[in-house]
Amino acid sequence: MAIELDALTGYRSPSGEITLPLPGSTLERQPAGAETVRFTGKGRLLTYSIVHVPTTRFKSQAPYVLAIIELDEGARLMGLVDGAPAGNLAIEANVRYSHRDEFGYHFQLVPN
């Protein structure tokens, strides 16, 4: 089963491990016996970095915010925080999933 692009989904392996595969990853194909997990998309920033000097693949995205996000369901993943002014970024800031593309999972800051 393929992972849906428009929803924040992953899968839980028979051993209980949750995977949210990155775009282009070999983990995108859900293995036999795994169950699909759909996340609300709500979470918080655990840490972040503003990237000004990116790798070649991300050159068109710079500067961008790369963050570790903990979803309300407990899963953690790396994502991009779009349109976030540096003054509004903070550890524990609330975010919401917006979409996924070839660069990864995209989130937006949620006003308090």
Q: Are strands 104-109 and 76-81 parallel, antiparallel or unpaired?
A: parallel
Q: Percent of the chain beyond pLDDT 70?
A: 94
Q: Six-digit token pair at 32?
A: 């036999």
Q: Is the per-residue pLDDT at 4 higher than 70?
A: no
What's the pLDDT at 69? 96
Q: Given CA atoms 110, 21, 67, 80 in this order, what sign does their dihedral have?
A: negative
Q: What is the mean pLDDT of residues 84-103?
A: 89
- Adjacent-strand bridge partners of 79: 67
| Domain(s) of CATH 2.40.50.840: residues in the chain | 42-109
Does residue 32 or residue 86 have the better pLDDT? 32
Q: Average per-residue pLDDT in the chain?
A: 87
CATH architecture of 42-109: Beta Barrel (2.40)
CB-count exposure of residue 105 (10 Å: 0-12, 13-18, 19+): buried
Q: Is the per-residue pLDDT at 49 higher than 90?
A: yes
Model pLDDT for residues 6-45, shown as the tens digit of each residue: 678 888 889 888 888 877 777 778 888 999 999 999 999 9
Contact 11, 75 (CB under 8 A): no
